[in-house]
Structure 1
Amino acid sequence: MTEENHIIKKPQEAPGELPSRSWEEEEEPKNDAEEEDVNDDDDEDSSFGPPPPPPPLTPHPEDTLNYTIASDSLFYDEESPRKTDPPQVSPYSKDSEYNYDNDIDDDSVPPGAPAIDWEEDQSVEIPPTKVVQRWEKKEKRRKKLLRQDKNYFAAKAIASVACCLIVLVIILTAGFGSGAFQKDDEPSSAVIPPPTMTTAPTVSPPFETPVAPPVDNNSTVNRPSALQDLLVSASYNPDAFADVQSAESLAANWLIVSDPLQLDPTKDQFRIQQRYALLTQYFAADGSWSNEEGWLTAEDECTWYGVQCEEVGGGTARNAVVTVNFAANNVGRITPDIAMLTNVTTLNLTGNPWEGGFPTAITNMPQLRSLDLENLGLTDDISSIDFSVFPNMEVLRLRGNFLQGTLNSFYSMTNLVEVQASGGNNLTLAINSSIVNLAKLQTLNLNGCPITGGLVSEIGALTALTTIDLGRPAPSNTVGLTGPIPASINQLTQLATLDLSSNLLTGAIPDMTGVPLQILRLSNNNFGQAAIPDSIYTLTGLVELNMANCKLIGSIGTGIGSLTSLRILALDANFLSGALPDAMDQLFQLQSLTLRLNMFETAIPASWTSLVNLQIFDLQNSRIIGPIPGNIGSMASLRELRLSENRITGAIPGSLTQLVLLEELELNTNALTGGIPFDIGSLVNLRILRLHDNTRAVIPGSGLVGQLPSSLGGLTNLLEFEIYDNFMSGPLPWEMGSLVNLQLLDVEFNLFTGLVPDSFAGLSSLQSFYLSGNNFTAGAVLPESLCSIPNLDLVSDCDVTNSCSRCPS
């Protein structure tokens, strides 16, 4: 075969057609779909018979197998028709000859012909029909790739235009926000622009002050500037915006930058001001609230914790904040801009660790109907507060503070229903005839305040009153209500509580028949040695009756038995006399009975032991005679039994040890006889045990005798034990060394013998130990271990000592 036969001709392009890529070129990686298309083409060619003859070929020296691949060939990725890096490994390179192995179909070799090695035997001609077929395949593939190129570049052009438009919008927006497009001849206004967003906007970043663009008909409104202007103009504290760390600045900053709602200052002014006023309270606390649910979120401010709203405004109804309840939420102060919430009627700040002083911002909230400032520890003088600015005020609660000054214009709050100012305040109020203006008043509680004037008769016109509490914690000779209780008090047909204790009231106690009183406290007044009015016994709803230290005379009437709802009865420190009425055994609800410091000269009725709910029974120093009722053990609820300083005789009843709830037992300074019940140790809750001074010269044979029961060692809660001035004898029980809480032990002037037990060194809480005037072994040495008890005052006879004891002075 000649040299000519080794030349493979390229098909020539038709005139006007795009130049085709050489079919000898490297094949680009193709995906499965492309491979499928090519195979389909093969099937289509073979199914329609032999292809048309190829166009005439003009041999050219460059059309050989070593044809060089064009340097600007496009390479295609398998996943997308974009230009990418060339493949790392090519089936043939620029300098290699074309490899036919992959292109020759198996059916191109005649049956039975020997295998041809195309690399070694270059003399074999490629059949012309196959060359044409390969050319047509390549041509189809070239056109397909060309269509893909056109689609790719079109998509790329569209994406580029879109990117340019986005960049242009960003540049224009930034320019308007920074004032870059402001005209030179137009003045700028100082506004607070949005600073950079923080990832955790608990406290918004501080303000800066750029120049805002003017707002006119031909320009877009600068939102930061407009919003800032709105807030500054509405604020009650506009100077605070000069401080970028103020609560006002931080609140405005959050609305401008971080608020997901991005409210429009031209359309949403009401909501912007509402959210801002609330946010200033949040930022004033510096993020220390106990509960901040919903705050600093896109949620409607009406759903934020502590906030409640209602629709207001009639035809232009809008959801406005009407209640701000920050009770017990670790709130330290409120800002003046809380007054921007012009529809708030209820403000509750009770029970917070307050730091900001009395919140004077409330004086700009005339719409308030309920103000609760309890337990804030306020100490301000509020004389400057003009309460006439609250014409709608219904509930005013100031309890648990230490406020000073005068309640000015108090009677101008004509809608008042409840006033609470007890618990530490020292607020002055003069009761006068202007009180008639408070026709709606139900609760008047100024307990502990220095109230002056008197209970004027006009008070009877306040028929809605349920509580009058003008009492004081202790009597004073100079401060308090004066004069008598007016008779018009019986017109208060809703009155349940009347507390006038510790004032300077005089005169007789008026008839209060028909008044539904449950609590009547008249203690520490001077009612001129009057008797208990019989009308008191008609107040059958009474739960508490306290007429202690009222200079009452006479006796307790039998009508007392009709007060079956009584739980507290205090008639102590009067001049009452006569028999104690048996009718009191009807007071089954009674829990506290104090009759001390009277002159009864009578015995305790045995029927009283049926008062099974009685917890406090106090008849000290009331000239009680006779024995302790033998069945006193049936008063199972007793916690305090005080019968000291009377003339009670007889033995301590054994049933007394059944009072297992007993904490205080005072039977001292009487004329008791006999011994201490041996099982007194069953009173395991006992803290005070006083049995001293039961030897009365006027009553021969009086005084406690016998030995101290060893069961005393079981009273491990005992704090004080006094048994001095009796005739007790024998040794001190070893078991008493287990009374680890005992602070006072007085066994002086008895007949005790022997030695002080070494176990007493275990009385680690002992502060005073008095044991002189007994018959301890002469010359005996007290246990030196007692000296290890710190701060012990140890008093003993001079012949019974140790290194830390002292003789009686």
Structure 2
Amino acid sequence: MEVTGMGLTGKKNGMEPKRWKGNDTDQHALLSFKAKITDDSLGVLDSWNNSIHFCQWKGVTCSRRRQRVRAINLVNKNLRGTISPHIGNLSFLRGFYLYNNSFHGSIPNEIGRLFRLQQLNLESNSFEGGYPANLSHCVRLTNISIYDNKLEGKLPTYFASWPQLYLFALGKNYFTRSIPPSIGNLTLLHSLHLDYNSLVAGIPLEITHLANLELLALAVNNLSSMIPLALYNMSSLRIVSLTQNELEGTLPGDLGITLSQLQEFYIGENRFSGLFPPSLANASNLVNFEIWGNNITGPIPNNLGNLPNLEMLSLSQNLLGGGNNRLIDDWSFFDSLVNCTYLQYLSLNENSLRGQLQMSIVNLSTTMEVLYMYTNQIYGGIPREIGKLVNMTTLSLFGNLLTGTIPGSIGELSKLGTLDLSTNGISGVIPPSVSNITQLYFLALRCNMLQGSLPPELFTITTLQEVDLANNRLTGVIPVEINRLTGGIPATLGDCLMLEELGMGGNRFQGKIPTTFKALKSLRYLDLSMNNISGNIPRFFVGFHLMEYLNFSHNKLGGEVPGEGLFLNKSAFSIVGNSELCGGIQALHLPTCPVKFSRKEKEKIALRLILLLVLVPTGVLLACLALICHRCRNSKKVNEPHQILKDKQYPKLSYQDLLLATNQFSPDNLLGEGRYGSVYKGVLESVEHILAIKVLKVGVRGANKTFLAECETLRNIRHRNLIKIITACFSTDFKGNDFKALVFEFMTRGNVDHWLHPSPSDQENERNLTLLQRLNIAIDVALGVITYIIKVIQESFIVT
């Protein structure tokens, strides 16, 4: 049987095998495409085999007459892999759709051979590299979307090659530099997506030449300067998105007239200034209007109710309001918003708006979901009919001048997730109807004048995550329904001198037990169990003679358990679940605490330390004198070449050996770096131990002298407190440069300096030393130095 290629053109017993009508080139290209797919978890390409014609393969569309591949549509198929260059052989391909998969690698330049290609959608993948330059050959393209990938570099400049282009989307990539002026050649372009990149400079004037442009998306870049005024005269624009750039200038007063087709306008977080455009209400098709985070001033027009389709109005973080004129009611515009029957999102926070809270707030559309009015100068009370806004999910009025009470109808806002009325002058009680807000997860009422007790019903809301009631006038017992409180234990509890019972168990309190608890001598019962409390058990509890039961169980306490007072009675306290505790009475069966030095022992240690600090400098001085004498007596002798570890006991290692041992001196193996050298961790097959390899910086002045001195010292001196040397390497690297290195035995417990001066991360891992351990290290180091001094003095006398 003969088999040639992938077309199965063999013969057997004189019979022809089954052949498919169509073009073998297309079939081969498709199979090459499949071969580059590394993950097909949904089995989408299982049908791509020789059992059926390739025009019947899933995702493949062919022309009826010629049976050539016209489209590949594999959208949302969870495919992973790269695009085969053979894709360029599908010469009849008009549509190529790989939206929302996990393709990666570069887009092959062979795609430029698809001269019939009209639509290319590679959106939401992980393609890398630059923009495919050969795509300019595909002159029939109408749609190009490579949105949400990892392409980088600069944008293409050959826009004149695509006279029929309708959509161009390269947003959410890593493109840099400026927008090329040649983009103005796309005379039929309707949608331009270049948002979420790192584009710089200004918006080119040539964009305003795109007479058919309906969507302009340039948000989240680094664009600067002023917007070309001609852009505001592009009557075809429906959507303008310029949010989060560094654009500046003013909005023209006739904005709503010149952009009469405008539906969505986003310029938030830029540097725009000037007056709010009074003509905005003329843009009757407007749905979303966002100008937050700028410096726009002036009053808000009273005719915004003429926008019947308005759904989102975001005016926060500006300078809106009447300025210093306190006679002007900045909220007069609010009544007109009642006519916006589709309004869902309204943000007016962080402005300079003064005036009384409008009663018309309750007549806003029942479609209203999010209302931000915080940090203004609103006074008055919350209307009783607030419950009419039945679809509200977020209501934030904090940081104003509101008074009155919280109306009971607040409980009718059953979909409310966030309610923030903090930092006002609200009084009265917290209405029990709040418990009807079954989806509430954030409640902030702090810094008001609320009175009464906490309604227990409030804490039956299962979705509740955070409650802030601080700085009010609340009284009574904390409901038992409250659980999982966080933060530190309030130190102000120490002011409750007559407190007899305090139960705070089963929460998420952390930190240490406040020292202010020392004043709570009236305590009979204290429960801090099942929290995250750390530190030691304060010894002042020993003197709590009225204490009947103390529960510290299941925390993170450590240190010594007192063995006096109530801690003598095992049944009077509980400390189970604290694994770091030690000592205490024998019945606790805890490990013995580390020995603590008495005052006399500390004095002896201090004396040894003082002697050490005196003897070591003295020894160093003597060594220096001995070295001077030694050099003076031998200055007239002919200097002999240095013998660098020539003994047979030291193995010979080459530059290549050390290069391989350190993975080419990889930064991952770098242990430390000094003035004269860098130390790497290495592994040699010929040596059993892990090595520490100190590579000399031969270009640094004085490094060579230091290297030779260290070799001489380590060759002549052995001591248990001096690191063991394995060998030395004196060679050249592959470029012919000098290479010198010392090879030591690797010390697994790291650098002494890091133990003596631990970083914050080391401290978290409890990497610290006791005073005794530090003293022993100092003594051992001193002994090593003294050993060296004695050796030098001995050699000096021998020479003499």
Answer yes or no: same fold by TM over 0.5.
Answer: yes
Q: Which of 714, 718, 736 pairs up with 2:464?
A: 718
Are 1:445 and 2:156 counterparts? no
Q: Which of 509, 515, 519 pairs up with 2:251?
A: 509
Task: Please state how far the C-alpha of 1:745 moved relative to its aligned partner.
Answer: 9.5
2:453–2:476 Cα contact (<8 Å) kept: yes
1:552 alignment partner in structure 2: 296
- Label 1:749 to 1:653 Cα distance change in 2 as closer, same or farther (>3 A): farther
Query: Residues of 2 paired with 1:772 and 1:718: CA distance?
Result: 32
Are 1:707 and 2:453 counterparts? yes
Query: Residues of 1 paired with 2:99 and 2:11: CA distance?
Result: 33
Aligned length: 527
Query: Residues of 2 paired with 1:297 and 1:666: CA distance?
Result: 65
Q: Which of 272, 290, 303 pairs up with 1:527?
A: 272
Query: 1:284-303: per-residue Cα shift (whole Å, max 9, x none)?
Result: 33683622364324433212
Are 1:375 and 2:159 counterparts? no
What is the percentage of aligned positions where both structures have the same residue? Answer: 24
Are 1:366 and 2:115 counterparts? yes
Q: Which of 195, 209, 221 pairs up with 1:461?
A: 209
Query: Residues of 2 paired with 1:656 and 1:794: CA distance?
Result: 46
2:71–2:94 Cα contact (<8 Å) kept: yes
2:442 alignment partner in structure 1: 688
Query: Residues of 2 paired with 1:346 and 1:636: CA distance?
Result: 47
Query: 1:552-597: per-residue Cα shift (whole Å, max 9, x none)?
Result: 1111110211112111110001001142121112222111111111
Query: 1:19-71: per-residue Cα shift (whole Å, max 9, x none)?
Result: xxxxxxxxxxxxxxxxxxxxxxxxxxxxxxxxxxxxxxxxxxxxxxxxxxxxx
Query: 1:195-228: per-residue Cα shift (whole Å, max 9, x none)?
Result: xxxxxxxxxxxxxxxxxxxxxxxxxxxxx3xxx4
Query: 1:667-705: per-residue Cα shift (whole Å, max 9, x none)?
Result: 1111111121133222221111111122xxxxxxxx111
2:157–2:182 Cα contact (<8 Å) kept: no
Query: 1:696-737: per-residue Cα shift (whole Å, max 9, x none)?
Result: xxxxxxx11111112123122211111111111111112324
2:158–2:182 Cα contact (<8 Å) kept: no
- Label 1:375 to 1:782 Cα distance change in 2 as closer, same or farther (>3 A): farther
- Label 1:654 to 1:433 Cα distance change in 2 as closer, same or farther (>3 A): same
Task: Please state how far the C-alpha of 1:509 moved relative to its aligned partner.
Answer: 1.5
2:152–2:174 Cα contact (<8 Å) kept: yes
Q: Which of 587, 592, 597 pairs up with 2:345?
A: 592
Task: Please state how far the C-alpha of 1:453 moved relative to its aligned partner.
Answer: 4.0
- For residues 226-625 of structure 1, the aligned pairs below 5 Å read 228=5, 252=6, 262-263=18-19, 271-285=23-37, 288=40, 290-292=43-45, 294-311=47-64, 318-329=66-77, 330-378=79-127, 380-382=128-130, 385-412=133-160, 413-423=162-172, 425-428=173-176, 430-472=178-220, 479-493=222-236, 495-510=237-252, 511-512=254-255, 513=257, 514-528=259-273, 530-578=274-322, 579-580=330-331, 581=333, 582-611=335-364, 612-625=366-379
Q: Which of 346, 369, 387 pairs up with 1:633?
A: 387
1:734–1:757 Cα contact (<8 Å) kept: no
Query: Residues of 1 paired with 2:533 and 2:43: CA distance?
Result: 46
- For residues 4-15 of structure 1, the aligned pairs below 5 Å read none
Query: Residues of 2 paired with 1:410 and 1:668: CA distance?
Result: 57
Query: Residues of 2 paired with 1:794 and 1:663: CA distance?
Result: 40
Query: Residues of 1 paired with 2:250 and 2:117: CA distance?
Result: 42
1:767–1:793 Cα contact (<8 Å) kept: no
Paired AA for residue 453 in structure 2: Q
- RMSD over aligned CA atoms reads 3.6
Query: Residues of 1 paired with 2:17 and 2:501: CA distance?
Result: 84
Query: Residues of 2 paired with 1:632 and 1:555: CA distance?
Result: 26
- Aligned with 2:384: secondary structure? coil
Task: Please state how far the C-alpha of 1:271 moved relative to its aligned partner.
Answer: 1.2
1:396–1:419 Cα contact (<8 Å) kept: yes
2:87–2:110 Cα contact (<8 Å) kept: yes
Query: Residues of 2 paired with 1:360 and 1:557: CA distance?
Result: 54
Query: Residues of 2 paired with 1:636 and 1:306: CA distance?
Result: 46
Query: Residues of 2 paired with 1:620 and 1:635: CA distance?
Result: 18
- Label 1:755 to 1:275 Cα distance change in 2 as closer, same or farther (>3 A): farther
Length-normalised TM-score, structure 1:
0.59
Task: Please state how far the C-alpha of 1:539 moved relative to its aligned partner.
Answer: 1.0
Q: Which of 423, 442, 462 pairs up with 1:669?
A: 423
Task: Please state how far the C-alpha of 1:481 moved relative to its aligned partner.
Answer: 4.0
Task: Please state how far the C-alpha of 1:503 moved relative to its aligned partner.
Answer: 2.2
- The answer for unaligned runs of 5 or more in structure 2 is 323-329, 545-549, 558-800
Query: Residues of 2 paired with 1:456 and 1:755: CA distance?
Result: 74
1:642 alignment partner in structure 2: 396
2:409–2:433 Cα contact (<8 Å) kept: no
Query: Residues of 2 paired with 1:756 and 1:303: CA distance?
Result: 79
2:106–2:129 Cα contact (<8 Å) kept: no
Paired AA for residue 691 in structure 1: L
- Label 1:577 to 1:588 Cα distance change in 2 as closer, same or farther (>3 A): same
Task: Please state how far the C-alpha of 1:626 moved relative to its aligned partner.
Answer: 1.7
- Label 1:331 to 1:543 Cα distance change in 2 as closer, same or farther (>3 A): same
Are 1:659 and 2:407 counterparts? no
Task: Please state how far the C-alpha of 1:263 moved relative to its aligned partner.
Answer: 3.8
Tell me which structure has the larger Cα radius of gyration. 1
Q: Which of 530, 539, 543 pairs up with 1:788?
A: 530
Query: Residues of 1 paired with 2:394 and 2:461: CA distance?
Result: 16
Query: Residues of 2 paired with 1:452 and 1:782: CA distance?
Result: 66
Length-normalised TM-score, structure 2:
0.60
Query: Residues of 2 paired with 1:302 and 1:660: CA distance?
Result: 55
- Label 1:663 to 1:792 Cα distance change in 2 as closer, same or farther (>3 A): farther
Q: Which has the higher strand share?
A: 2
Query: Residues of 1 paired with 2:477 and 2:176: CA distance?
Result: 62
1:556–1:576 Cα contact (<8 Å) kept: yes
Query: 1:338-360: per-residue Cα shift (whole Å, max 9, x none)?
Result: 21111112111222232444344
Query: 1:314-369: per-residue Cα shift (whole Å, max 9, x none)?
Result: xxx62211101122332422211121111112111222232444344323333322
Paired AA for residue 290 in structure 1: G
Task: Please state how far the C-alpha of 1:306 moved relative to its aligned partner.
Answer: 0.8
Query: Residues of 1 paired with 2:407 and 2:512: CA distance?
Result: 28
Paired AA for residue 480 in structure 1: L
- Aligned with 1:779: secondary structure? coil
2:499–2:522 Cα contact (<8 Å) kept: no
1:186 alignment partner in structure 2: none
- Label 1:255 to 1:772 Cα distance change in 2 as closer, same or farther (>3 A): farther
- Label 1:321 to 1:682 Cα distance change in 2 as closer, same or farther (>3 A): same
- Label 1:569 to 1:387 Cα distance change in 2 as closer, same or farther (>3 A): same
1:650–1:671 Cα contact (<8 Å) kept: yes
Query: 1:458-505: per-residue Cα shift (whole Å, max 9, x none)?
Result: 4333222121111117xxxxx214223423432332x22111122232
Paired AA for residue 140 in structure 2: N
- For residues 120-131 of structure 1, the aligned pairs below 5 Å read none
